[in-house]
Amino acid sequence: MQPAKISIINITSYIGTELARLLYRHPRVQIISVTGRSEMGKNLSEVLPHLSEIDLPIEAEPKEADLVFSSLPHKASAEALLPLIERGIRIVDLSADFRLKKAESYQRWYDFTHPAPEFLKKAVYGLTEFHRPQIAHSSLVANPGCYPVSALLALAPAVKERLIHPDIIVDSKSGISGAGRTLSLGTHYSEVNENVSAYALEGHRHLPEILQELKALSPDFSPSLTFLPHLVPMTRGILSSCYAQLVEGKIASSQKGIAKLRQIYRDFYRGEPFVRIVEAPPQTKQTWGSNLCLIYPTIDLRTNRLIVISCLDNLVKGGAGQAIQNMNLMLGFPETMGLEALAIYP
């Protein structure tokens, strides 16, 4: 059987680079072209030596392929992908450009008018654990943001089972790679090292994405969500701490209640290859380089409040690994193919 042909748009981004690294060992695909306008004309090995085994020139436009990944920034991605969408090429977009269903949301949260609002309803939100059947039959998948993957997987069982009140807090910490490779003062080593900072207190761009998917889980549930991200001095990883008041009578505020809560989470994610319900609060290093999301649900017995800790690698399960998980479904491959690597520790 011939391998599926893959093109990567903007391989010089952190996500594009991680896509290439993971796809190189995938047994059923072949990367046939990569783009990156800032390094156009150079060989990939010259720009990214750790990918020297992928002997390809960096081009301006992607070659025709069975599936195309785009890791361009928002707005630029939609504009580049429109001709491919119209030709029916299968696409996994790692920007935000097709995640939200309402076109007006892009003006508010991303400060641009969406160039192709007619495709927003066609696109499938690419959190595999939520939309597996739709992804398998879609030609346009919007890969989730890294923060939303950690928050949604942490909260989904509690929302679906209506265990919590709508007032929810998600406190997330991310490594610096989440900001991308573009140079900025905020991610300069001297600014970030030995420092922790909160940002986007007025509302992060991933907030509407989280709200959209929580409402889809339980249509009559109207979450009031406070989402507060922080930048921490590490390269990879996201750890999200999620809090909400438990509904009286749904689950006991006791050790038996905690055991029941964890069973609810295990049942919800039974059979999911990349979600693990763990017995102790997880750490970001336990997911480094893997496609796993580790989740620890518990109850604060003093306040009767749900606490859920989740962590993942923002460049893998929060980015390139999730995208390949979606690609596998779209191309009819086993969902875990090419993603079986264990985490690197320490």
Active centre residues (catalytic): 146
Q: Are 232 and 174 in contact (CB under 8 A)?
A: yes
Q: For residues 46 and 12, give the distance between their C-alpha atoms in angstroms, rounded to a whole number.
A: 12
Q: Are 139 and 86 in contact (CB under 8 A)?
A: no
Burial class (CB within 10 angstroms; exposed 0-12, middle 13-18, buried 19+) of 132: middle
| CB under 8 A, 24+ apart: contacts of 130-133 | 130/156, 130/213, 130/216, 130/217, 132/329
CA atoms within 13 A on the CB side of 109: 18
Nearest Cα to 287, choosing from 213, 214, 341, 209?
341
- At position 146, the amino acid (one-letter code) is C
Q: Are 72 and 11 in contact (CB under 8 A)?
A: no
Q: Which residues contact 264 (CB under 8 A, 6 or more apart)?
A: 157, 158, 161, 163, 251
Q: For residues 201 and 185, give the distance between their C-alpha atoms in angstroms, rounded to a whole number.
A: 19
Q: Strand locations in 66-163, DSSP E?
A: 67-70, 90-93, 124-125, 140-142
Q: How far is CA 33 from CA 7, 40, 41, 52, 297, in A?
A: 5, 12, 12, 14, 43
Phi/psi-derived region of residue 297, left when phi > 0, alpha when psi is between -120 and 50, beta in every other case = beta
Cis peptide before 346 (omega within 30 of 0): yes
Nearest Cα to 73, choosing from 20, 152, 12, 7?
12
